[in-house]
Amino acid sequence: MTPKEKMAIPPQAMPEQDAAVRARNMNEVALGYTAEMAKTEASRCLQCPTKPCMQGCPVAINIPGFLAKAAEGDFASALDVIKETSLLPAVCGRVCPQEKQCQKFCTMGKLLKDVDKAVAIGRVERFCADLARETGAEKPVACAPKTGKKVAIIGSGPASITCAADCAKAGHDVTVFEAFHRCGGVLVYGIPEFRLPKAIVRHEIEAIKQLGVKIENNFVIGRTRKLRDLIDKDGFDAVFVGTGAGLPKFMGIEGENLNGVFSANEYLTRANLMKAYLEGSADTPFWHGKRVAVLGGGNVAMDASRMALRLGAEKVYLVYRRSEAEMPARKEEVHHAKEEGVEFHMLENAKRVISDGKGAVAGLECLKYELGEPDASGRRSPVAVEGSEFVLDVDTVVVAVGNASNPLIPTTTEGLEINKRGNIVVDPETNMTSIPGVFAGGDIVLGAATVILAMGEGRKAAAGISAYLSK
């Protein structure tokens, strides 16, 4: 087909559950492409010689290469191309912000002057991965001969999984130490089932095990064992720290210690990892709020507000101090939240949580805001409107205003350099820390970021580890 003919092919919309139905169940919202839809969408790729889409992919997937195979209907070969650089295609196809990364640079989107009309790279990637998993057609990944070197990976989130896989493929003996009873990090405790089914995460973890990676659960580095002991006493030649950004931030307002106020971390962990939505058989008690306010405007705030509906809330308010244009959440997540009935309160912010006099939440006093001058990031700063106080009638408040890096390892490891935000400082080329042989990546280095950015950090660190061990 000529470029003009390809431009005439309409983008393939993703089939979804009806909003009214899905808002009360935990099943996946997006239902996935059919084979014909995947072929059609992949055929829209212009196969640009310069491959501009790849500059937006932190793990450097050969995007035109896998789309060319998918356009031919050879989905197995398409997946082979993806797995050259990523072992989490079913995950990335679902949760990566493609519109801000690979699809942002897609020539088709630029020609049509709409990033939403770029080739739906992630959706085709998801289809290829799902088809192979569902038909049992996945192929084993080859590993290099054994090097005799031992690598410890701390944490099992996206950065750690990627680093572990790349180190195993390089021939190293890899052991993952995970503090929780299940592996996957933010993929299992943070991202809800309706966006990322946990069976898929378990499957991707199994793929890592098939490379020979060993996993130790319920093992807290910094408590069960000190980081330096892994090298000094346990014989590991290198260590990767990927413990993420698990320290929730709060607003610092009156009433945040009341019963019914939760960090989004706790709220989502109870619902996702401990399955609070399974009445009668859940691994945790849960506060079933009927009128819920979620504070924040990122993807975590969207997840928490949509989860509140699925846990039985009658009314969910999303309170954000800037306008919708400034929201960092994915446009797709905002759209889904609105469809499901989340009520958006833009240019408003919490001032204090009101008590019922018995230690529980009885309301949320808010202030109206207007946008002033741009801040250091370029976004216009919100300015409170004096005398604009009003009260939202709520019994639950979920604070989703960001997370800081997990402080356990930095505070229990002498000589490990951190910056003023508590993030581990690394060499930007190799991701080695201030301690020789100790590497780090993902949110513990970047601060709270995306799954795919964490994966890119894991790949870079794995290359740094192999270079270090070769010397």
Whether 161 and 216 map to the same domain: the answer is yes
pLDDT above 80: residue 283 = no
Whether 395 and 267 map to the same domain: the answer is yes
- From 121, 168, 122, 118, select the one nearest 141 (Cα to Cα): 168
Identify whether 143 is part of a domain.
Answer: no
Radius of gyration of the chain (CA): 23
Boundary (domain end) residue, out of 356, 375, 401: 401
Percent of the chain surpassing pLDDT 70: 100
**Which pLDDT tens digit goes with each residue over 243-276?**
998 889 999 999 999 999 999 999 999 999 888 8
pLDDT above 80: residue 21 = yes
Whether 392 and 267 map to the same domain: the answer is yes
**Which pLDDT tens digit goes with each residue over 26-83?**
999 999 999 999 999 999 999 999 999 999 998 999 999 999 999 999 999 999 999 9
Whether 123 and 179 map to the same domain: the answer is no
Rounded distance, CA 131 to CA 65, Å?
Answer: 18
Percent of the chain surpassing pLDDT 90: 86
Identify whether 197 is part of a domain.
Answer: yes
Whether 242 and 254 map to the same domain: the answer is no
Identify whether 200 is part of a domain.
Answer: yes
Q: State which H helix or E strand residue 344 sits in.
A: strand 343-346
Instruction: Compute the half-sphere exposure of residue 385: CA atoms within 13 Å on the CB side of its CA.
Output: 14
Residue 377: pLDDT band (50, 70, 90) is confident
Whether 59 and 130 map to the same domain: the answer is yes
Whether 295 and 329 map to the same domain: the answer is yes
Whether 386 and 254 map to the same domain: the answer is yes
| pLDDT for the residue 274 | 87
Which tokens go with 247?
């320290």
> Residue 169: which domain range?
150-246+404-469
Whether 225 and 315 map to the same domain: the answer is no
Whether 343 and 229 map to the same domain: the answer is no
Query: What's at 85, amino acid-wise?
Result: T
Residue 375: pLDDT band (50, 70, 90) is confident
Residue 7: pLDDT band (50, 70, 90) is very high
Computed over every residue of the chain, the mean pLDDT equals 94
Spatial contact of 118 and 103, defined as CB atoms under 8 Å apart: yes
- From 52, 35, 32, select the one nearest 43 (Cα to Cα): 35
Residue 398: pLDDT band (50, 70, 90) is very high
Q: Among positive and negative, which fits the CA dihedral 224, 229, 233, 234?
A: positive
Distances (CA, A) of 239 to 25, 181, 424: 41, 21, 14
CATH code, domain carrying 410: 3.50.50.60
pLDDT above 90: residue 376 = no
Which tokens go with 379?
């976004």
The crossing angle, in degrees rounded to 10, of helices 331-340 and 299-310 is 20
Whether 270 and 380 map to the same domain: the answer is yes
Whether 349 and 378 map to the same domain: the answer is yes
Question: Strand pairing partners for 396?
Answer: 292
pLDDT above 80: residue 219 = yes
**Bridging pattern class, strands 361-374 and 380-384:** antiparallel
Identify whether 145 is part of a domain.
Answer: no
Identify whether 219 is part of a domain.
Answer: yes
Rounded distance, CA 342 to CA 333, Å?
Answer: 11
Identify whether 47 is part of a domain.
Answer: yes
**Which pLDDT tens digit goes with each residue over 336-346?**
999 999 999 99
CATH code, domain carrying 70: 1.10.1060.10
Q: Is 270 exposed, middle or buried (0-12, 13-18, 19+ CB in 10 A)?
A: buried
pLDDT above 90: residue 280 = no
Boundary (domain end) residue, out of 378, 401, 424: 401
CB neighbour burial string for 153-170, b if at least 16 within 10 angstroms, e if fewer: bbbbbbbbbbbbbbbbbb
Identify whether 324 is part of a domain.
Answer: yes
Distances (CA, A) of 162 to 79, 116, 156, 237, 309: 17, 29, 9, 18, 33
Output 376 or 425, whichever has higher pLDDT: 425
Identify whether 344 is part of a domain.
Answer: yes
Spatial contact of 185 and 160, defined as CB atoms under 8 Å apart: yes
Angle subtended at Cα 136 by Cα 131 and Cα 140, rounded to the nearest 5 degrees: 105
Boundary (domain end) residue, out of 401, 433, 455: 401
Number of domains in the chain: 3
Query: What's at 243, amino acid-wise?
Result: T
Residue 406: pLDDT band (50, 70, 90) is confident
